[in-house]
């Protein structure tokens, strides 16, 4: 249907419109129809944003750029390390994103983001123009922040804090360890990805040792003096692994008791703390972290190593038209979790559509729920609802959320933990 | 012809018809899918919620919130929602097909 100039003039007279205002409106309309959103990173945040952008605005051109052709999730990867799930069961595919939701998925490595020209360049030399960019690169390890622990060292002493080959390497080492061996996990200070993760990992490794290598021990060397869901974990360890008894399978060493690891000796398989050297048969070093490489390269991060954003729109406080979500962002009280990244991605997707239409984005609340297993049949959780406070910072809502009650139904929460995984992955990848 | 032109004018004046930007309460409802499944259809022990009657959802959430109804995690989340949010997100979930 064509709108003839004569008809238009007649109509604009009717509506009291000038030609220039018609132009302004039609440009907004055209922009909205054909706007291009590029997403860098095919993890939880990026894929959720892509799917929901198309749900909210089916005419948007959405391109997601991610080097891997499948995604091994960090959630539930501790269960693989504990030996109760295989890696295939936590491997997600990008097919539905393209076939069901019409997102263009490009498997390539982003080498440069030109925030002035609004162009993303990949390793293969391809260029992608965008009107709005969403960067969801996850984390990178801060190599050498623990002396001697770099990428090469991680091939021998895994961090297993990005799921995939690292997860399998740690699992293989646990399987090869003799009964009576010592497993040692080094845990960083806050903030880092998945705050309860190291303690769930300790629980599920202890569960494996209890069954197959009962003379073994697990020691956690921690750079902190307290941790997520601490009371529930400690109670679980007492109930299941003899914690605080001479035969305890698990020992937790807080920073105050010289728990902070400062150096790794790969050849000798030792960890050094301020006052001691610790020998183990299997070492797992979870190093301090920072925003993914492309975010830092693009200058989206500040001196903290993470990316400051507007809590309503997730637009970078450093570069306009670029949004940063997920673990790489500074998200106030929200933890770096899959649920957080998903919750942020949905709000960010809605904000991007509003901004492309020239509307003011609405202020939303956020939700997080994290399940952890104490054993394959016992689960605990932490949940929270968040709102943006007067300072523009994401804060917890007083009276909401919290951890499972001390007398909670651990069996049911273990069932829900497995169900949560299947359901959130379907929300993202199906 | 005049009707068609009026339709077109409406189209020009309302770019929002091209996108369905959710309200804050609807965005909250999208968080429900993380535990209750894609579009509210669960794959396991957590119940599906898609298309449940709005009044039932509203009452259940309020019962979880004040502890009248026992839950593992839902009560903790419901405590972060106000009456208006519960009403609107329940109405949205009821419309899911």
Give the pLDDT confidence of A103-162 residue by residue, as tens digits: 999 999 999 999 999 999 999 999 999 999 999 999 999 999 999 999 999 999 999 999
Test mutation, B10, B11, B45, B75, chain A, max A CBs within 10 A: B45
DSSP state of A326: G
- Cα–Cα dist A99/A90, whole Å: 21
Residue at token pair 């750079």: A223
DSSP notation for A227-278: -TTHHHHHHHHHHHH-TTSTT-SEEEE-GGGT--EEEEETTTTEEEESS-EE
Question: Three-class SS of residue B46?
Answer: coil
In sequence order, which residues have a C-beta less than 8 Å from that of residue A230 and are 6 or more positions away?
A199
Q: Which residues of chain B have pLDDT under 70?
A: 1-18
C-alpha distance from residue A27 to each of A22, A34, B19 (Å): 8, 10, 16
Report yes or no: A378 and B57 within 8 Å, Cβ to Cβ: no
Beta-strand relationship, A289-291 and A104-106: unpaired
Determine contact: B12 vs chain A, CB below 8 A: yes
The ranges of chain A with pLDDT < 50 are 1-31
Gap between the Cα atoms of A326 and A314, Å rounded: 10
Residue B33 near chain A (CB below 8 Å): yes
Cβ separation of B19 and A384 shorter than 8 Å?
A: no
State the best of A365, A387, A412, A415 to mutate against chain B, taking most chain B CBs within 10 Å.
Answer: A365
Residue of B nearest to A385 (CA): B80
Asked if the Cβ–Cβ distance from B37 to A426 is below 8 Å, we say yes
Among B residues 37-96, those touching chain A with beta carbons less than 8 Å apart: 37-38, 42-46, 72-73, 76-77, 79-81, 85
CA distance A350 to B27: 8
Concatenate the DSSP letters of all residues of A377-404 into one string. TEEEEEEEEEEE-TTS-EEEPTTS-EEP
First-last CA distance in chain A: 37
A241-260 pLDDT, tens digit each? 999 999 999 999 999 999 99
């Amino acid at each position: 249907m064509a709108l003839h100039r004569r008809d238009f003039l007649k109509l604009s007279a009717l509506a009291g419109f000038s030609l220039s205002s018609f132009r302004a409106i039609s440009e907004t309309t055209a922009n909205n129809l054909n706007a291009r959103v590029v997403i860098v990173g095919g993890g939880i945040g990026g894929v959720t944003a892509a799917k929901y952008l198309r749900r909210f605005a089916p005419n948007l051109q959405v391109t997601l750029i991610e080097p891997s052709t499948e995604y091994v999730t960090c959630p539930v990867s501790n269960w693989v390390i504990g030996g109760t799930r295989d890696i295939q069961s936590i491997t997600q595919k990008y097919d539905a994103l393209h076939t069901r939701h019409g997102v263009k998925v490009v498997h390539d490595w982003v080498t440069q983001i030109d925030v002035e020209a609004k162009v993303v360049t990949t390793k293969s030399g391809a260029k992608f123009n965008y009107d709005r960019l969403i960067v969801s690169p996850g984390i990178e390890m801060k190599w050498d922040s623990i002396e001697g622990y770099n990428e090469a060292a991680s091939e021998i002493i895994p961090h297993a804090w990005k799921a995939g080959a690292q997860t399998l390497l740690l699992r293989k080492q646990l399987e090869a360890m003799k009964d009576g061996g010592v497993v040692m996990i080094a845990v960083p200070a806050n903030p880092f990805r998945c705050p309860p993760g190291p303690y769930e990992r300790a629980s599920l490794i202890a569960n494996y040792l209890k069954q197959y290598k009962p003379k073994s021990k697990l020691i956690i060397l921690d750079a902190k003096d307290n941790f997520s869901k601490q009371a529930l974990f400690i109670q679980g360890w007492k109930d299941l692994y003899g914690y605080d008894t001479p035969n305890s399978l698990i020992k937790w060493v807080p920073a105050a008791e010289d728990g902070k690891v400062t150096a790794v000796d790969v050849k000798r398989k030792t960890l050094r703390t301020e006052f001691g050297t610790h020998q183990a048969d299997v070492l797992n070093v979870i190093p301090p972290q920072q925003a993914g490489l492309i975010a830092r390269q693009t200058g989206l991060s500040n001196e903290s190593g993470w990316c400051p954003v507007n809590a309503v729109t997730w637009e970078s406080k450093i570069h306009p038209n670029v949004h940063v979500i997920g673990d790489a962002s500074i998200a106030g009280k929200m933890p770096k979790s899959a649920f957080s990244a998903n919750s942020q991605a949905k709000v960010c997707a809605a904000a991007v559509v509003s901004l492309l239409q020239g509307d003011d984005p609405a202020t939303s609340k956020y939700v997080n729920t994290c399940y952890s297993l104490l054993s394959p049949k016992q689960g605990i959780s932490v949940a929270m609802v968040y709102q943006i406070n007067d300072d523009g910072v994401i804060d917890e809502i007083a009276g909401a959320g919290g951890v499972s009650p001390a007398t909670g139904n651990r069996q049911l929460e273990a069932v829900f933990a497995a169900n949560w995984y299947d359901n959130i992955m379907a929300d993202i990848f199906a | 012809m005049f009707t068609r032109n009026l339709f077109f004018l409406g189209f020009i004046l309302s770019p929002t018809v091209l996108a369905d930007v959710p309200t804050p309460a609807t965005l909250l409802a999208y968080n429900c899918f993380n535990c209750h499944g894609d579009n509210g259809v669960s794959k396991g022990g957590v119940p599906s919620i898609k298309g449940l009657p709005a009044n039932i959802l509203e009452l259940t959430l309020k019962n979880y919130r004040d502890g009248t109804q026992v839950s593992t995690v839902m009560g903790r989340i419901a405590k972060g929602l106000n009456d208006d949010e519960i009403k609107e997100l329940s109405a949205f979930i009821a419309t899911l097909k």
